[in-house]
């Protein structure tokens, strides 16, 4: 459990592909272990802990181990301590964590005029529509209870004159919902939690212990976490990306590294009347609440500039404000701007912001009379170790919460004061699965001897150690300079590539220097390990930024200044979706004819496939794993509605495969030892991955629907054999290219689509009991019957194939027939707009056969988004009903479909 480590990231390739240095490879090799049995108690935030390499060379065992002493770690520790012993490993003093320095507060819906829906809306708007909707719903719904628990534990938040909690407002929020303790909220939360921890006999806190690496092994295809190597040290430094780097080396999936949040208003020491005597190790932040309380931003000519950039002015989200300040500084060649709160009553300013007022007064500035000099400063990562809704990761036994986790809440930009809330919610959600895992595990007390112990460099002379420390500190400053100069608020491909080269060169020089001075492969030291982690995180940031060819949220690049909306759906099959194509759940253009995730997204999510975004990017961007090679929603035959017919898509897929294979081969032939593939190659699948993919095909609707609009239903029925013949030909092509595992969805109840009623007159006798067109659904069922027969034939014709036929029709028709019980409205209405010339016009309404079609207030209650395609909410419902395999033949869950053994070669497994 990495509760408060500073760095976070969406999908990046496995560790090998971001350029793991010789130093890292050496370190990792010392902790590898051959595959072992399944019955080992795991640690690192959840089950039996082995904290190795303490100063006294002892090995200690705990039921749960927690790395970090922030709000997530301590809250988690207090809960699991009810079920076993807990070790909390903290880098410095327990209070030295990011939680302690959080000024603003915790956002939660605690006012009757506020709502969960409003909080969700604000979160996703701030996150540039890249948030995971279910995660946002969970956090915003459960957040108020987590805040009340803190109060019950003794956390003392500010109250208003009416006796109720005083709720502040910050940038990006539409309501006052920030619970706070003046401008020292984090300190108060940390105090309350530490008091409880100190009084809990089941919790042991290891101060000044630096976590070096996770102890992992392989159990078949799974990586299992067993413990953590910890070095006893004395330091006050924090936040160097240690948890995220450790998880990365343990092959945990890392996400959204490109989204580095810059706090827009850090105290600019250059503008203070009395300058600090030495440079600060960490920027002193001026809380978001100052702007929320009426603070105004001016340039040095006292010109207010935020209204020029955004209609929300100073209350715009952090990414907007930070870029606006950056633009002002560059245009005017100035070092800082001014944040003025002096127009507010003196007593209120001092009561709301006592810590800020005191710090400024130490340097000769009275914030009740003078504006505060401020400048943006790197502050927070919106991604991290990819976590599920229970804090689980792809590494068995490893749970994450807090800043190290990427839960999908923040998307491309964190909404103010959502971080503490996220930490509280996910720390609590990780408890029960951790306990369950602990109870079903067993412990071998000899386990700690299976990993080589790192050693401190006692054999080196003191002057050598001093030289190494001095050089490492210089290298650290140089790395920070590179990141600020080339990977800052505004980016470009050229600058990112320059950063990539300079970081790689700097790391190589540093490692060579260490080994020349006698550093051994198994040696560890605080500053050396921190430097290793900083290099790891920096490379992940740069690699991820180069991979995102758009500007979204915190990632702004001048080479791709717009949001890339051609994601998911058809573009997952290598084609672009033409506009206009509907909107997302929150009214943002989506670039896909659906309001968010498709069934294919939920399949990828269930398989725990890494992808850039759970909400919009879906699986259509990196083409690395199974479901990314989907032909979803295309026509089988050329013509009709879609130019993206199956034959064309497969031809493009073949060219794509040939090109990626050629690129990999070309690079391999020229590769020098230690050389890292460039991003254009490392983000492509290896040639060996193509036959391992799960080829997911969800087609049929377009062919039948087009036929219904342009011919009789009987003619459509007679065309089915020809349609399926072309489908079989396409499958044969894929098989020749190495495809082996196929997950095939049949077509849905076309007679229940609202679009069918726009193009086909109906009378009461033509409708079934649920209001669907009977004859169209009869044809759809006949198509599905023949499709299942065709799959049976293909299974015999292609001896190494593994087919799963999925009855999506039954799931969709069940949803239609029980829609109101499931929280949906009339299934024959749709949400986005109306068709004209086969295009969706989202700003209009129309009356067809007495029914009104058009814009709706809540897309999540509609089954159809645009008359033809299902909404995200409906896709989610359908996915939940097919993924367990109950509607599949053979009755395989989607996970098992990925692991079917070839009929002709029992040694071959088709994995994702």
Q: Quick one: tokens of 600?
A: 């294919």
CA 170, chain centre distance (Å): 24
For residues 144 and 124, give the distance between their C-alpha atoms in angstroms, rounded to a whole number: 18
CA–CA separation, 481 and 487 (whole Å): 10
3-class DSSP state of 710: helix
Beta-carbon-side half-sphere exposure of residue 8 (alpha carbons within 13 Å): 34
Q: Which of 493, 475, 132, 480 is nearest to 280 (CA)?
A: 480
Of 775, 745, 777, which is closest to residue 636 (Cα–Cα)?
A: 745
Calculate the alpha carbon distances from 788 to 668, 726, 881, 888, 889 in Å: 43, 15, 19, 11, 9
Residues 155 and 33 sit within 8 Å (Cβ to Cβ): no
CA dist., res. 727 & res. 742, Å (int): 13
3-state secondary structure 306-359: HHHHCCCHHHCCHHHHHHHHHHHHHHHCCCCEEEECCCCCHHHHHHHCHHHHHH
Are 103 and 39 a contacting pair, CB within 8 Å? no
**CA 669 – CA 377 distance, rounded (Å):** 43
Quote the strand ranges of 36-136, DSSP E.
49-52, 60-62, 64-67, 86-89, 106-107
Q: With the CA atoms of 326, 330, 335 and 341 taken in that order, what torsion angle do they form, in degrees rounded to the nearest 10? A: -50
733: tokens are 């092509």
Q: Residue 94 is encoded by which pair of tokens? A: 């327990």
First to last CA, the chain: 26
State both tokens at 349: 């300013």
Q: Which two tokens stand for residue 877?
A: 């419902």
CA distance 731 to 801: 10
Length of the chain equals: 912
Catalytic residue among 318, 386, 429, 502: 318
Map residue 882 onto helix, strand or coil. helix
Asked whether the beta carbons of 372 and 267 are under 8 A apart, the reply is: yes
CB 123 within 8 Å of CB 131:
yes
- Cα separation, 630 vs 647, whole angstroms: 13
323 is known as an active-site residue: no
Residue with tokens 């060996």: 688
Question: Tokens standing for 248?
Answer: 């990365």
As given in the structure block, the two tokens for residue 309 are: 């950039």
Cα–Cα distance list, 467 to 23, 515, 832 (Å): 19, 13, 66
CB contact at 8 A, 128 and 553: yes
Contact 599, 875 (CB under 8 A): yes
Distance of CA 796 to the CA centre of its chain: 41
SS3 168: strand
Q: Where are the alpha helices (DSSP H) in 229-305?
A: 242-249, 288-292
Instruction: Tell me the C-alpha to C-alpha distance, in Å, between residue 759 and each of 58, 446, 704, 751, 765.
Output: 76, 72, 13, 11, 17
By C-alpha distance, which of 60, 63, 61 is closest to 82?
63
How many angstroms separate the CA atoms of 253 and 386, rounded? 6
| Contact residues for 772 (Cβ-Cβ < 8 A; gap 6+) | 749, 751, 752, 813, 816
Q: Which residues are catalytic?
A: 318
């Amino acid at each position: 459990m990495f509760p408060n480590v500073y760095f976070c990231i969406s999908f990046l390739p496995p560790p090998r592909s971001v350029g793991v240095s010789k130093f890292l490879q050496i370190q990792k090799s010392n902790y590898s272990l051959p595959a072992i049995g399944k019955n080992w108690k795991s640690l690192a935030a959840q089950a039996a802990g082995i904290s190795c390499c303490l100063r006294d060379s002892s090995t200690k065992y705990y039921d749960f181990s927690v790395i970090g002493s922030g709000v997530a770690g301590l809250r988690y520790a207090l809960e699991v301590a009810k079920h076993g012993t807990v070790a909390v490993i903290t880098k410095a003093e327990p209070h030295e964590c990011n939680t302690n320095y959080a000024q603003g507060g915790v956002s939660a819906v605690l006012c009757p005029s506020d709502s969960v829906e409003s909080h969700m809306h604000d979160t996703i708007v701030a996150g540039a529509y890249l948030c995971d909707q279910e995660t946002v719903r969970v956090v915003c719904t459960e957040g108020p209870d987590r805040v009340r628990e803190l109060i019950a534990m003794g956390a003392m938040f500010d109250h208003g004159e009416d006796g109720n909690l005083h709720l502040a407002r910050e940038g990006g929020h539409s309501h006052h919902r920030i619970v706070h303790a003046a401008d020292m909220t984090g300190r108060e939360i940390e105090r309350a939690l530490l008091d409880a921890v100190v009084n809990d006999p089941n919790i042991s806190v290891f101060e000044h212990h630096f976590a070096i690496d996770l102890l992992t092994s392989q159990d078949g295809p799974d990586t299992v976490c067993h413990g953590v190597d910890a070095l006893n040290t004395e330091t006050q430094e924090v936040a160097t990306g240690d948890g995220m780097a450790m998880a990365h080396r343990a092959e945990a999936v890392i996400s959204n590294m490109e989204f580095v949040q810059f706090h827009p208003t850090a105290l600019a020491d250059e503008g203070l009347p009395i300058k600090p005597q030495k440079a600060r190790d960490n920027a002193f932040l001026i809380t978001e609440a100052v702007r929320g309380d009426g603070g105004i931003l001016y340039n040095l000519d006292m010109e207010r500039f935020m209204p020029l950039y955004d209609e929300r002015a100073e209350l715009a989200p952090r990414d907007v404000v930070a870029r606006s300040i950056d633009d002002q500084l560059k245009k005017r060649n100035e070092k800082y701007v001014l944040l003025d709160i002096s127009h507010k009553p003196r007593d209120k300013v001092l009561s709301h912001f006592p810590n800020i007022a005191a710090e400024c007064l130490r340097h000769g500035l009275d914030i009740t009379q003078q504006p505060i000099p401020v400048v943006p400063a790197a502050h927070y990562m919106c991604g991290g170790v990819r976590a599920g809704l229970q804090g689980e990761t792809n590494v068995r036994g490893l749970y994450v919460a807090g800043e190290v986790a990427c839960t999908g809440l923040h998307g491309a930009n964190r909404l103010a004061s959502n971080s503490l809330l996220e930490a509280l919610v996910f720390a609590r959600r990780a408890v029960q699965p951790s306990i369950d895992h602990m109870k079903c595990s067993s412990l071998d007390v000899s386990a700690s001897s299976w990993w080589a112990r790192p050693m401190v460099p006692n054999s080196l002379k003191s002057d050598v150690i001093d030289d190494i420390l001095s050089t490492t500190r210089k290298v650290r400053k140089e790395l920070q300079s590179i990141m600020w100069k080339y990977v800052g608020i505004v980016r470009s491909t050229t600058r990112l590539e320059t950063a990539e080269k300079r970081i790689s060169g700097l790391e190589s020089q540093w490692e060579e220097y260490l080994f020349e001075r006698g550093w051994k492969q198994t040696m560890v030291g605080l500053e050396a390990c921190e430097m290793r982690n900083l290099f790891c995180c920096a490379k992940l940031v740069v690699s991820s930024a180069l991979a995102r060819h758009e500007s979204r949220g915190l990632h702004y690049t001048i080479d791709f200044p717009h949001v890339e909306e051609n994601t998911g759906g058809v573009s997952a099959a290598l084609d672009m979706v033409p506009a206009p194509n509907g909107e997302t759940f929150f009214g943002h253009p989506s670039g896909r004819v659906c309001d968010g995730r498709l069934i294919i997204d939920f399949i990828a999510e269930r398989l725990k496939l890494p992808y850039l975004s759970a909400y919009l990017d879906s699986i259509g961007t990196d083409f690395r794993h199974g479901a990314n090679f989907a032909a979803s929603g295309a026509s089988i035959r050329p013509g009709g509605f879609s130019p993206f017919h199956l034959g064309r898509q497969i031809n493009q897929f073949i060219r794509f495969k040939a090109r990626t294979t050629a690129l990999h081969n070309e690079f391999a032939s020229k590769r020098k030892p230690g050389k890292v593939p460039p991003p254009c190659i490392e983000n492509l699948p290896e040639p060996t991955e193509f036959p391992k993919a799960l080829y997911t095909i969800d087609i049929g609707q377009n062919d039948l629907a087009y036929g219904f609009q342009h011919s009789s239903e009987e003619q459509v029925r007679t065309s089915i054999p020809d349609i399926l013949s072309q489908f079989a030909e396409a499958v044969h092509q894929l098989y020749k290219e190495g495809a082996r595992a196929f997950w095939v969805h049949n077509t849905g109840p076309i007679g229940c689509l609202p679009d069918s009623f726009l193009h086909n007159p109906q009378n009461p006798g033509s409708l079934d009991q649920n209001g669907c067109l009977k004859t169209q659904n009869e044809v759809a069922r006949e198509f599905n019957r023949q499709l299942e027969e065709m799959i049976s034939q293909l299974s015999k014709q292609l001896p190494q194939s593994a087919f799963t036929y999925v009855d999506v029709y039954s799931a969709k028709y069940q949803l239609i027939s029980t829609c109101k019980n499931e929280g949906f409205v009339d299934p024959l209405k749709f949400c986005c707009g109306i068709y004209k010339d086969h295009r969706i016009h989202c700003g209009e309404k129309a009356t067809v056969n007495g029914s009104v079609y058009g814009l709706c207030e809540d897309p999540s209650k509609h089954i159809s988004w645009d008359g033809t395609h299902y909404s995200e909410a409906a896709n989610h419902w359908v996915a939940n009903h097919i993924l367990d395999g109950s509607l599949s033949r053979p009755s395989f869950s989607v996970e098992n479909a990925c692991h079917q053994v070839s009929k002709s070669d029992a040694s071959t497994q088709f994995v994702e």
